[in-house]
A = this chain, B = another copy of it.
Amino acid sequence: MASWSSSATIANLLTLEDISNASASDDRAAYGTPVLKLLAEARSKGYDATALPLTTEKWKTRWADMCLLPSGSDREMEIAAEQKAEEWRSRPCFLKDEVTITRLDEAEGVTVMVSDWLELDATDDWVRHDAEIALQQELSYASYLNVQSAILPAPRNRDHVASYARIVNQCLKNTPFIHLSIRLPVYNPSVLQTSPPSSLLTSESIASAGSLSPSGSTPRLVISGSSSEKLSAAPESELNATWEMWDLIRSMCDYNTRLTLTLDLSPPLPTKIGVLSKWAAESVRNILLPASTFIANGKGYPVLPKTTQSFIRQCMIHYPTVILAGANAGYHSRGGESAYAQYVRHLEKTSPAVQAAERAGTVENFAQGYQDYLQAPLQPLMDNLQSVTYHTFEQDPVKYRQYEEAMYRALLEWPGEGRIVACIAGAGRGPLVARCLTAIERSRREALIYAVEKNPNAFVTLQERKEREWGDKVQLLFGDMRFIDVPEKADILVSELLGSFGDNELSPECLDGAMRFLKPDGISIPSSYTAHLAPLSSSKLFNEARAAKDFKSLETPYVVMFKAVNILSGDGGGLSGKCGPQIQECWEFEHPRRDPVLDARGLPKTNSHNARSAKLHFYIPHAGVLHGLAGYFEAVLYGNIGLSIHPHRKDQISKDMLSWFPLFFPFREPLYLPSNSELQVSIWRLTNERQVWYEWHAESFLSSPVVAQSDSGLRSSSLSGIPPSPSTTVHSPLIDADDPTFAQRTGYGTPDASPGSYETVKIGQTSLHNPGGRSSWIGL
């Protein structure tokens, strides 16, 4: 059970009972303190780390005596309690036996669990107020002992989560270095208490008795969370409800990087994996896994239900600390304490993300260390690339194999018997030239290659290769393909100018120039390419983008190997029926263009024909926060030979291709998207004489079924019903020109609320990004 892997850290959770037992044991003197003895034992059992409660029952009792009013207490008792509480509030301090650790060596590498009976989101103002002081006191003490990480009790009361969040934010400010992790059951926390693996994982009813009201003479008996409404939520809403609380907390803490999640996998657990994908985009630090979550397999060994297995495997992308609780409690008949950790290691080893990263040749393996790391896209037209950059891209066996195959087929299928002229437009250091020579050889056709390159430095490498390898079969031409003169026109024009979004390295503009030396019936490889988008959530990428130093950090698309992200869209039309698939095509470029209008030099007069725009409609099945757009491309090289980084199609088209990571278009402010909403994304590819740039923007909508007027009368009452809301399609006056009467055009008097119809209500929008190419443009 050694820590042979880099993904998960496995920790055990000590209980107060463990500590109490250790205190009573004979050999504790050898270790110094009971906690030191337990830490040594955990290490010897193979645990990488340990978590333990910070405070004891004594602290809980004192706090309750001061801050809560026992039922039946009289005015004198109240005043006495309030005197003690005011004394404490003015100078919060622990007594020695109210805490579990007192020495630096006891705290080393330890994660502490803050008192989980602190109700930071209690309904009662005074309970919240005094819980905040207690939390500050605990964190201040933990920080004194150099504890690096503390787990906070789960939020429990949706109505007051904003108060919980405000308190956490205050603690992050007051305690500078400590990491705070919010414990959160994947289901509604009201479920959590049913199966506690230890007494400390249980929220006991200490706070429910009532509380003293020190501000008035009439003590109020406070029932925490005393709402009388009935909880009628179904499983998905429970999952949403807990995520929604987390989202509110981290948003109100402004995505503080010292704030993380401790996902609590106490049962009950979801049986479908889909809704759990949202946690991939969140900052998950710990997974709290009680032994009671395990079921026994046929032989009595502890194993996990299928969905939980898959979920933990997925969570390996977070490099989590898996905190095992109650592993020593003997819940299962076979395997002993070590069986739980062994099982987690088994899940780690069989995690697809871990496996992909370990297998040579995969993009995941190639991208080690680059996951979720933001890189500025290349501008190979403006900047002359370095040899080392060419070297990196030439490593990709799949891309050049596809190019060779495309050239081979094009040569084979080229009509006639004569010499074929091929032109490599943008030869770089020559990888396509070499592949083209191989393709010519394989096709047994006679052919000459022109290699055009504008980078003077790479042109030296080309000269060397021509001299050493290629000889007369290749003619080198130095110059920009948009302006250079070529001795003869080509039958086949080959280029590798594509960026992560297809056209974002100006392939369309460059090939406009190169088309001057392609014969009218010639072939362009690639023959077309498309750009694709999907809405994306990732608190990591949001934080990375805004942390970038220059002001343009949230206006620039970045190249990113995605890892801790979640695509928010689903397939399906949404209620409006207008939504497309999860990942949608924006636009296409084709080469050669058909029937273009050109000037005397054979160049287009303007770049208007390379402007593009798209408006995409995405269906959002599960609530999430939009942080940006994921951009992909797909290219047809020739026939059915292509290149693709489209997540759903890349494995069929160009599996294990390494050259392109996706593009990330960030949004400045996160946009909250509810379950079953629709997102409309507008994106433009814009151009003037000197540059090309993208602008992007999104609006969100929620559809709700129209309640027929005659059925409920809801539409007639402005207070209790839903009056007609903005229609998303306001027609151009031009279409309605043949529509003669006012009533028909406006719908006056003829509400068209047929059964099963819906109305779409706008609920939010982002800023316009990169307006006027302000911060990020690509130079022509």
Contact = CB atoms under 8 A, between A and B. Distances in A.
A173 B700 CA distance: 27
A674 B173 contact: no
Contact of A158 (B217, B232, B728, B763): B728
A188 B746 CA distance: 8
Interface residues of A, number: 150
Interface stretch (A237-245, A420-428, A650-658): A237-245
Interface stretch (A141-149, A189-197, A357-365, A384-392): A189-197
Contacts of A194: 742
Given A192-B733, A762-B623, A608 B676 contact: no
A285 to B, nearest CB: 22
B597 A762 contact: no
A731 B251 contact: no
A373 interface: no
Contacts of A705: 704-705, 707, 712, 714, 722
A199 interface: no
Contacts of A753: 232
Given A597-B79, A729-B229, A205 B765 contact: no
Interface stretch (A35-43, A160-168, A454-462, A557-565): A160-168
Nearest to A612: B125
Given A224-B734, A597-B82, A751 B232 contact: yes
A377 interface: no
B157 A214 contact: no
Contact of A225 (B725, B728, B735): B735
A761 B233 CA distance: 12
A155 to B, nearest CB: 8
B765 A727 contact: no
Contacts of A768: 165-166, 169, 251-254
A485 to B, nearest CB: 23
B771 A734 contact: no
A165 B225 CA distance: 46
A604 B86 contact: yes
B605 A89 contact: yes
A63 interface: no
With most chain B CB atoms within 10 A of its CB, the pick from A253, A699, A746 is A746
Contact of A240 (B122, B188, B572, B726): B726
Nearest to A717: B572
A5 interface: no
Given A189-B733, A613-B163, A615-B162, A231 B726 contact: no
Interface string A53-67: 000000000000000
A26 B189 CA distance: 87
Contact of A608 (B86, B254, B613, B684): B86
Nearest to A161: B730
Contacts of A82: 597
Contact of A765 (B248, B570, B728): B248
Contacts of A158: 727-730
A675 B162 contact: no
A287 to B, nearest CB: 21
Contacts of A369: none
Given A623-B726, A729-B227, A732-B157, A702 B233 contact: no
Give the one of A125, A188, A682, A719 with max B CB within 10 A.
A719
B767 A233 contact: no
A761 B675 contact: yes
Given A623-B762, A763-B763, A764-B764, A611 B208 contact: no
Interface in A560-578: 570-575
Contacts of A593: 215
Given A166-B695, A215-B609, A223-B735, 10 more contacts: A162-B697, A190-B732, A191-B745, A230-B752, A231-B745, A237-B725, A241-B730, A268-B746, A674-B763, A705-B705
6 contacts: A83-B597, A158-B728, A169-B768, A203-B734, A238-B746, A253-B768
Interface of A: 79, 82-83, 86-87, 89-90, 119, 121-123, 125, 128-129, 156-160, 162-163, 165-166, 169-170, 173-174, 187-194, 203, 205, 207-208, 214-217, 223-227, 229-238, 240-242, 244-245, 248, 251-254, 268, 570-575, 593-597, 604-606, 608-609, 611-613, 615, 619, 621, 623, 669, 672, 674-677, 682, 684, 695, 697, 699-700, 702, 704-705, 707, 712, 714, 718-737, 742, 745-748, 750-753, 756, 761-765, 767-768, 771-772, 774
